[in-house]
Amino acid sequence: MTTTESEKYSVLPSMHRRFGRVKRSMGFNATTPAQWRRWRKTLRAKLMELTGYDTMVKCPLRPKITEEIDCGDYRRQRVEIQTEPGIIMPVYVLIPKFARGRTSAVINPHGHGGGGKVAVAGVRDNPLVAESIEGHNYDYGVQFARAGLISFCPDARGFGERQEKPARGNVLTASCTWINNMAQPLGQTVTGMWVWDLHRLIDYIQTRKDCDGDRIGCAGLSGGGLQTLWTTALDDRIRAAVVSGYFYGYQQSLLEKNTNCSCNYVPHLYETIDMGDLAALIAPRPLMIETGTQDTLNGADGVNNVLPQVRIAAKAYRLLDAGKNLRHDVFEGEHRWHGTVSVPWLTKLLTS
């Protein structure tokens, strides 16, 4: 059977047609700040339902510092917190040695292909992780710590020390597919779990005497961008955010590129919003989007699949008289953390 003959049996064309019919039923369309506030409240509740966030169970954090290592210009703690009953999240905390008193903090969630928190925290003991750090400029937790922020680098469920059994043996392997296979029939999703865990991490940060709980940012690459976007959209305690390598139209970047990791897929998501609507929930708080011109995850139209989503967000920012708080850093390059503009930008916002 030729490729042309086989394509006529594909379900993808019908999915494109359905996307066009049902997309964005709750997309941003407010024309007054009051309408935006009502839309935000309603959409947040809907997204918590779709992701299973509202099924999560709160419990005591029971934080425990298990080690502390001198890394030269910063100290690295390993901390464990309980995010749900029996669910433990390991976190590396990078503390600048020159930090004094209550210091601004940044959450730096990781993406795929770096072994979880180790890449973001610049731990290069494993050659595969070291190679990933070099290829993706992945140690942005270290970059923020050296800029003066206390960086929190957690393992998301399914990564690093939290790999499920089928993934163990290769630190770079993610467990998202197996977790979503377990979770979705039970009304939960990987996305909901990740966002819940990061919101519990905020709870923990606000208990630390060395952190300013009113000055918390979030910044991440790729799957870390996913976590940053959703976490910030659903929690106003994040003061400012950087979403890198994860901002584009769903139809090209996730429907067409449907072999992407299952952590991207939330039931009924495309019927409800597109990615620009998540950013509209963040307004008027400062948000920077990093886009590599050669990033294949942008979709078939490249940056032109990103710009319409930025425009959706920009409408919300303008409506709230905060247009200057939305920044788009388009850089020449592939799928990687840029940081040249975003690190000083976020650091200034959190420390000034």
How do the pLDDT tens digits run along the chain, 352 residues long?
Answer: 445 656 778 999 999 999 999 999 999 999 999 999 999 999 999 999 999 999 999 999 999 999 999 999 999 999 999 999 999 999 999 999 988 889 999 999 999 999 999 999 999 999 999 999 999 999 999 999 999 999 999 999 999 999 999 888 888 999 999 999 999 999 999 999 999 999 999 999 999 999 999 999 999 999 999 999 999 999 999 999 999 999 999 999 999 999 999 999 999 999 999 999 999 999 999 999 999 999 999 999 999 999 999 999 999 999 999 999 999 999 999 999 999 999 999 999 999 8
Owner of token pair 């690093």: 160
Q: Are 93 and 140 in contact (CB under 8 A)?
A: no
Asked whether the CA dihedral 329, 332, 336, 337 is positive or negative, the reply is negative
pLDDT of residue 1: 41
Would you say residue 261 lies in a domain?
yes
Q: Which two tokens stand for residue 165?
A: 């059994």
* E strand or H helix at 183: helix 176-183
CB atoms within 10 A of CB 25: 11
Would you say residue 122 lies in a domain?
yes
Dihedral-angle region of residue 116 (phi above 0 means left; psi in -120 to 50 means alpha; beta otherwise):
left
Closest CA to 216 of 194, 245, 195, 239: 239
Would you say residue 346 lies in a domain?
yes
Find the largest Cα–Cα distance for the chain. 69
CA-to-CA distance for 178 and 160, rounded, in angstroms? 15
One-letter amino acid of 63: P
* E strand or H helix at 24: none
Would you say residue 181 lies in a domain?
yes
Pairing between strand 87-96 and 150-154?
antiparallel
pLDDT of residue 4: 62
Closest CA to 147 of 101, 100, 99, 107: 99
| Calculated CA dihedral for residues 269, 274, 280, 281, nearest 10 degrees | 10
Give residue 245's domain range. Answer: 24-351
pLDDT of residue 100: 85
CATH number of the domain to which 226 belongs: 3.40.50.1820
- Cβ-Cβ contacts under 8 Å for 329 (sequence gap 6 or more): 288, 289, 290, 291, 338, 340, 341, 342
Would you say residue 56 lies in a domain?
yes
CA-to-CA distance for 107 and 79, rounded, in angstroms? 14
Would you say residue 9 lies in a domain?
no
Q: Which two tokens stand for residue 221?
A: 């690459």
* β-strand partners of 96: 74
pLDDT of residue 7: 74
Q: How many domains does the chain have?
A: 1
